[in-house]
Structure 1
Amino acid sequence: MAGFGEPGTTPVDASGMTVGVVAARWHGELTDHMLDRAVAAAQACGAQAVVARVAGSVELPVVAQALARRCDVVVALGVVVRGATAHFDYVCRSVTDGLTRIALDEGKPVAHGVLTVDTLDQARDRAGLPGSAEDKGWSATVAALDAALAIRGVSTGGNKRVGFGG
């Protein structure tokens, strides 16, 4: 976690938009909270949330793709903790490549809210728990909605600035 440079997490006006949120059940004590924060962020932005759950992070992309076909944006949430084998690297690569491909193929923002950490303490510090340094469920949702608004601005040919502070 860098701990600096975040553009902000102030709600944007995404009235009428739909946010598809897919969250892994693995490390449920963290992903449940991240899911709650993502739904709260969608509501704060005036958007409606559609929620799906999957077993683990590897399953996130396929459900994210289904959500991208019916929602304006998608937020994928999970926790992957480094272990003693290369499995961590394979899972992280698979999830990242899959979510990126979906965003580009579907032309919709897909937020990567999957915590890829060395320890559970690092995950807790990013999961939006009381005292956490970051709130990935909230910030990923606001960022995805902000990107959707930027796409809408570009698509309509407006020449005003779009995005955070636009």
Structure 2
Amino acid sequence: MATKNLSGFSTASLPPAKPFRFGIVVAQWNAEVTGPLYNGAYSLLLEKGAEESNITTIEVPGSFELTSGADILLSSKNVDAVICLGCVIQGETRHFDFICSAVAHGITEVSVKHNKPVIFGVLTTDNLQQAKDRSGGRLGNKGDEAAATAIQMAALQASLQTTV
């Protein structure tokens, strides 16, 4: 896995993003990583037909705040899916474990609370180089993947709501 571009998926089979409204919540901490993640996600949404006016972006201080940012966004805006983008890099203490666990559980809880897709686009890496490799570097851009997931999940939810 360490030498394979993990973002080598085809976007051709993605449904169009045009009918959907998206939220992107991006952490300011580790901005040299979260900035490229955001650019990848935003670009893919536009490439698949999302209207710029249908993409709402908010910034939060760090990855821990992604959960509350997504909750605030879903409570105040009519969006079909939210993409949470952040980066937590392993340090010398267990802080990494607590933050990663809290963010993963929190994003899931917000998704269930609002019955909307909330996408986990958070890198959890051992070092900065691994994060850079996954945010537009040699291993692709996980921001692209998060946006593709958001499009697929918004389309899935829409298709199930129209058949019931």
* TM-score interval for Structure 1 and Structure 2 normalised by the shorter chain: 0.7 to 0.9
Name 2:9's counterpart in structure 1.
8
Counting matched residue pairs gives: 156
Establish whether residue 78 from structure 1 lines up as the match of residue 78 from structure 2: no
Please point out which of 6, 22, 25 is paired with 2:28. Answer: 25
Name 1:99's counterpart in structure 2.
107
Please point out which of 48, 58, 62 is paired with 1:45. Answer: 48
Matched AA of 1:29 = E
Give the alignment's TM-score, normalised by structure 1.
Answer: 0.85
CA contact (8 A) 2:89 2:127 kept: yes
- The alpha-carbon distance between structure 1 residues 5 and 135, as it changes in their structure 2 partners (threshold 3 A), is closer
Matched AA of 2:9 = G
Give the alignment's TM-score, normalised by structure 2.
Answer: 0.86
Establish whether residue 63 from structure 1 lines up as the match of residue 69 from structure 2: yes
| Superposition CA RMSD, Å | 2.1
**Gapped regions of structure 1 (runs ≥ 5):** 159-166
Aligned residues with identical type, % of pairs: 35
Separation in 1, partners of 2:64, 2:98: 9
- The alpha-carbon distance between structure 1 residues 152 and 92, as it changes in their structure 2 partners (threshold 3 A), is same
Output one character per residue of 1:5-45: Cα deviation in whole Å (capped at 9) or x when no partner.
Answer: 87935043021311100111111111111111111111112
Separation in 1, partners of 2:86, 2:6: 22
Separation in 1, partners of 2:5, 2:129: 19
Looking at both structures, which has the greater relative contact order when contacts are Cα pairs under 8 Å and sequence separation is at least 6? 2
Separation in 1, partners of 2:10, 2:113: 27
Greater share of helix:
2
Name 1:161's counterpart in structure 2.
none
Separation in 1, partners of 2:117, 2:10: 16
Please point out which of 85, 92, 97 is paired with 1:89. Answer: 97
Separation in 1, partners of 2:5, 2:161: 31
**Gapped regions of structure 2 (runs ≥ 5):** none
Matched AA of 2:99 = V
Structure 1 residue 105: Cα displacement:
1.2
Matched AA of 2:67 = P
Separation in 1, partners of 2:9, 2:72: 29
